[in-house]
Amino acid sequence: MRRLNVPFLAALVVPLSIVFFSIGGCSSDSDNNSGGPGTNDRPVSKAECEPKCESKAATCGATDAQAKQVCPSLCESATASQLECLQAKPCSELANIDSLDAACPKATPPPGGNTGKKQFGDSCVCPDAPENAQGYCSGTDAPCSADLACVYTGGKGAGQCMAENCCSKSTSECEKDPSLLTQCTRGQCKQVGYVGFYCSK
């Protein structure tokens, strides 16, 4: 999965400390958990991440223009657990971060890393999946490596290890309008049954 290599503050005109702390703090600081690395490291598309990032920035007092400048880069390689963490973070803890990884590190795999885990494009089986169902499984107990999901369309959970969802709207909308599909960082954007559109081999 592609990572953001350019130093965050050097790449942006408006630093995150301004975007997420432009009014001196959030009134909801005491109501939120600080968040942290999660186990759901499913990659999320920029279309899924950016609206939530912009909403969080607005909560912390950023203008719409500031949020729209920062969030596309911040969402470049975000995972589901990082996005959940960002939304839960108090604004005061976001004041001096220089990247999403600094505020919400990606989940650290257990000892042995992804040893034995399936890789992108490999066949996989989601345990306990109903017969002839469609869906996906991800996380530490899933068969695919931490940045992938096992997407299946039947056969008791038999499917393939795929990367992020690549439809910016609903599945039916993307079926009608291919321009709503987003670019994959690896593989090609393909429809997988009624589960949706995913980046796959």
pLDDT tens digits, 69-112: 888 888 878 888 888 888 888 888 776 666 778 788 876 555 54
Contact 178, 189 (CB under 8 A): no
At 42-65, the pLDDT tens digits run 788 888 888 888 888 888 888 888
Residues 82, 163, single domain; the answer is no
Residues 97, 139, single domain; the answer is no
pLDDT of residue 3: 26
At 102-129, the pLDDT tens digits run 788 876 555 544 556 889 999 999 988 8
Q: Enter the tokens of residue 112.
A: 């042995």
Instruction: Kindly report whether the global pTM for this prediction surpasses the value 0.75.
Output: no
Residues 57, 127, single domain; the answer is no
Mean pLDDT of the chain, nearest integer: 74
Last residue of a domain, one of 71, 103, 135: 103
Residues 92, 129, single domain; the answer is no
Residues 57, 132, single domain; the answer is no
pLDDT of residue 107: 65
* Burial of residue 131, with CB atoms counted within 10 A of its CB: 0-12 exposed, 13-18 middle, 19 or more buried: exposed
Residues 15, 94, single domain; the answer is yes
Domain ranges, residue 43: 8-103
* Residue 2 covered by a domain: no
Instruction: Write down the residue that tokens 């912390």 correspond to.
Output: 60
* Residue 110 covered by a domain: no
pLDDT of residue 114: 56
pLDDT of residue 34: 33
Residues 40, 83, single domain; the answer is yes
* Residue 114 covered by a domain: no
* Residue 191 covered by a domain: yes
Hey, what long-range contacts does 24-32 have (CB within 8 A, 24 or more apart)? 24/61, 25/91, 25/92, 26/59, 26/60, 26/61, 26/90, 26/91, 26/92, 28/59, 28/90, 28/91, 29/90, 29/91, 29/92, 30/90, 32/88, 32/89, 32/90
Residues 151, 193, single domain; the answer is yes
Residues 97, 128, single domain; the answer is no
pLDDT of residue 28: 35
* Burial of residue 6, with CB atoms counted within 10 A of its CB: 0-12 exposed, 13-18 middle, 19 or more buried: exposed
pLDDT of residue 9: 29
Residues 14, 52, single domain; the answer is yes
pLDDT of residue 1: 29
Total number of domains in the chain: 2
* Residue 172 covered by a domain: yes
Q: Enter the tokens of residue 123.
A: 């066949």
For residues 66 and 58, give the distance between their C-alpha atoms in angstroms, rounded to a whole number.
Answer: 9
At 138-186, the pLDDT tens digits run 877 789 988 888 999 877 889 999 988 898 788 888 999 999 898 888 8
Query: Percentage of the chain with pLDDT > 70?
Result: 73
Residues 13, 94, single domain; the answer is yes
